[in-house]
Amino acid sequence: MDVVDLFTYAFAVASISLTVTRSKIFERPRVRIQEKFKWVGELISCPYCFSHWVSLILVIMYRPSFLPHVWMPLDITITAFIIVGMGAIIIGVVSRILFRDPTQEEIITKMRSAIKILKSKTKTHNHINVGEQK
């Protein structure tokens, strides 16, 4: 397997994983599965987790190999993890660009507001203490 093949498989794994775990078209099935089967629901909600299974299926079906053949189960496992590693980089980049988690944005905004409130209270408190000492 050459580098072009590796990137091809990695892009396929990343694309399939992101589509199933993050796209709106799969949102309803994800919610239903999460309600019925917690473990499987968590699996199909995490692009990195799901990419392992996608990679393993692709490696079993297409039999790409980066290494000399030693023992088929080991060859399949290592090849799948190589593809997952490259796919994880792609998933990370695409997730940062396309899929911003609104809950994280909300948490950051709330934390910034809380810090501003604390700073203003600290300034007010320090100002009162200084005035009382006179």
Each residue's pLDDT tens digit in the chain (134 positions)? 688 999 999 999 999 999 999 889 999 999 999 999 988 988 898 999 999 999 999 999 999 987 888 888 999 999 999 999 999 999 988 887 776 665 666 777 877 888 888 888 776 655 555 555 54
Residues 26 and 39 in one domain: yes
Residues 94 and 47 in one domain: yes
Collapse the DSSP code of 54 into the 3-class scheme (helix H, G, I; strand E, B; otherwise coil) and give the result. Answer: helix
Token pair in block for residue 53: 């299974």
Residues 89 and 132 in one domain: no
Residues 10 and 53 in one domain: yes
CB 40 within 8 A of CB 33: yes
Q: Cα(56)–Cα(27) distance, rounded to whole angstroms?
A: 24
Residues 91 and 117 in one domain: no
* Predicted local distance difference test score (pLDDT) of residue 48: 93
Domain that holds residue 127: 101-134
Residues 38 and 77 in one domain: yes
Residue 60: name the closest of 93, 83, 30 by CA: 83
Token pair in block for residue 11: 């892009």
Residues 112 and 63 in one domain: no
Residues 20 and 75 in one domain: yes
Residues 93 and 112 in one domain: no
Residue 87: name the closest of 30, 9, 33, 21 by CA: 9
Residue 42 makes CB contacts below 8 A (sequence gap 6+) with 34, 49
Instruction: Name the domain count of the chain.
Output: 2
* Predicted local distance difference test score (pLDDT) of residue 134: 47
Residues 76 and 123 in one domain: no
Give the length of the chain.
134
Residues 91 and 110 in one domain: no
Residues 105 and 93 in one domain: no
* Predicted local distance difference test score (pLDDT) of residue 113: 87
* Predicted local distance difference test score (pLDDT) of residue 112: 85
Q: Cα(110)–Cα(114) distance, rounded to whole angstroms?
A: 6
When computed from its CA atoms, the radius of gyration of the chain, rounded to whole angstroms, is: 24
